[in-house]
Amino acid sequence: MAGLNEAMPRGGEPDGPPEKAARFAYTLVWSFARVFSILALAIAWEALARSGVFTPFQLPALSSVLNRIWTDAVYGDLWINTALTLYRALVAFAISAIGGVMIGMAMSRNVIAHWFFDPIVSVGFPMPKIAFLPVVILWLGVYDVSKITIIVIDAIFPVIAATVIAIQGVERELIWSARNMGATNRELLHQVVLPAASPQIMTGLQVALPLSLIVAVVAEMLMGGYGLGGAMMTASRFANSTSVFAGIVEIAVVGYVLVKAMALIRRRLLIWHQEAAAPYTQ
């Protein structure tokens, strides 16, 4: 979804302006338009909150929400909560990424691994695994281990599925040529199959990352304690709606930064791939 905007100027607009000056003006108008609707939303929020249509409990003014974030930042709560949420989400994401790719690779190389994991993945992937959260709490308590576990349970499936499909989709000709030139199995895997499969594996990781964050927030809300989700839940119990809205803004920023960073990493890692040159379509 990173491509929603970039695709417009780059993606071969049929009526795009050819002249250089015109293109500059076009970029200028475009970048203004990008900020415009976000600004409009912010102003509308502030105006609506001050107009008295909603009580401050229902909709605290944007300025007071930003003020609250500032206070949290000064007192350090913001950093502790953000760091804890990020720590849980990213550790779990790393486990799912490594574990998912390994299971996916095993499934495509080994018949028994495929036989065992295939039904588990095809049944487990579409399940709402968040329902197992109380079971995980029952087993592992309410601390980091159980939060990370439930995130891994949720985030590992897209990675496995993407890896299996990606390896299946590697062109036969590539494998045959490598074999023909005398590549061993290991070389084949590291130098041909994994690089050729990496764009789709990356797509799986790009699904898993936001999912990790969603589940991290839910787990924190349910189990309490520190963390962005836990802080929001505490604020909500004390009917402190300014802090609840501050929490949303904070979580939104964290989510945005993570997703953007992931798209950037993808572009970096896959710079050799033809998709880097093609207009983004996803």
53 lies in the binding site for another protein (CB under 8 A): no
**Based on CB atoms, which residue is closest to another protein, 131 or 181?**
131
CB of 225 to another protein, least distance (A): 14
93 lies in the binding site for another protein (CB under 8 A): no
**Based on CB atoms, which residue is closest to another protein, 107 or 166?**
107
9 lies in the binding site for another protein (CB under 8 A): no
Binding footprint of another protein, residue count (CB under 8 A): 65
The owner of tokens 């159980």 is 146
What is the rounded distance in angstroms from the CA atom of residue 239 to the CA atom of residue 254?
24
256 lies in the binding site for another protein (CB under 8 A): yes
138 lies in the binding site for another protein (CB under 8 A): yes
258 lies in the binding site for another protein (CB under 8 A): yes
Near another protein by CB under 8 A: residue from 222, 226, 270, 273? 222
Near another protein by CB under 8 A: residue from 24, 79, 139, 143? 139
CB of 85 to another protein, least distance (A): 10
203 lies in the binding site for another protein (CB under 8 A): no
Residues that bind another protein (CB under 8 A): 1-2, 4-5, 8, 14, 30, 33-38, 41, 57-58, 115-120, 123, 126-135, 137-139, 210, 213-218, 221-222, 228-229, 232-233, 235-236, 241, 244-245, 247-248, 251-252, 255-256, 258-260, 281-282
